[in-house]
Structure 1
């Protein structure tokens, strides 16, 4: 039965495309308020990684059974993603954009984690392939994602410190 895997892949693909539109809109609005982007050089690699991850899943996952246990965890990650988006509102973007003089958000999931959105992404990169029974795929993309996030989190934390937003 192909429809469960196709439905899940369609959901994730549309979600990612919608997020790109939202991120572009929010980034433009933040820049209009005086924000600046930091460390943009890694962004194309991050987009390429996520695109390759989704394309690869479209090639490998259709027709594979959807594992209910992993699907439940993946859906839990979606709830956390919505919590992050609702908390950040117009400050959420896929780029590192610093708005000087504006304090960090410290409500919602940010009360518990400095980078909850990255926790969601790390989980999704691993869990969605596991949902389709693809542990090797999950491992390979998790390693690539870890490398990009290492660069990204380091750059973001440095930018926040230099803007005197993060102590």
Structure 2
């Protein structure tokens, strides 16, 4: 069980570091074309939430003796599915994918991949990860606390800022006029 945790945790950390490098590269590319970063003040809270989440999962899992929950196979399946959805989302956005809110004026909003069905698939994927990873290893407190914190940060801060920025400088309002709210 501790080997399973170490494997999943290591892959997740490596994946996140790779995503940060990709985001930095995409940020440079977009800013060279006139893009602007919006909502910089809240980004530090996003970073703190994700780092705290990883630490909390690790600490609670160790304290619980690396015990698998009774629904661990279901949660592992959801977690693995979330990884495939994450790659699909990143691939669909291409150079526009980022961990920050960076908007390129007059750009056409991406409407392919998971964006055909939902406005914010990446946030849904993060929510799936935040609930499923701790529940693999019986880390119930982490699952509850960080699901709530993530939900509040996304719904009250991040998504409203992102949607306003996109509506102000892109064709977002037109493209997503008939897509259900998340």
- The secondary structure found in structure 2 opposite 1:94 is coil
Which runs of at least 4 in structure 1 moved beyond 4 Å after TM superposition? none
Aligned-residue offset at 1:65: 3.6
Q: Give 2:50's aligned residue.
A: 50
5+ long unaligned stretches in structure 2: 174-182
Q: Give 1:29's aligned residue.
A: 29
Q: Could you tell me whether the CA contact under 8 Å between 1:5 and 1:65 is conserved in 2?
A: no
- Pair 1:64 & 2:66 matched: yes
Aligned-residue offset at 1:155: 0.3
When the two chains are superposed, the root-mean-square deviation of aligned CA atoms in Å is 1.2
Query: What whole-Å deviation, never above 9, does each CA across 1:21-49 have from its counterpart, x for those lacking one?
Result: 11111111111111001111000010001
Aligned-residue offset at 1:134: 1.5
- The secondary structure found in structure 1 opposite 2:172 is coil
Distance 2:58 2:11 in 1: 12
Match of 1:162 among 158, 165, 168: 168
Query: What whole-Å deviation, never above 9, does each CA across 1:65-97 have from its counterpart, x for those lacking one?
Result: 442221011001111001001111111100001
Aligned-residue offset at 1:119: 0.6
- TM-score, normalised relative to structure 1: 0.95
Answer with 61-70 or 129-138: which moved more. 61-70
Aligned-residue offset at 1:2: 1.5
Q: Give 2:124's aligned residue.
A: 119
- The secondary structure found in structure 2 opposite 1:121 is helix
- TM-score, normalised relative to structure 2: 0.88
Answer with 63-72 or 15-24: which moved more. 63-72
Write out aligned runs for 1:67-82 (5 A): 67-82=72-87
Q: Give 1:139's aligned residue.
A: 144
Match of 1:101 among 99, 103, 106: 106
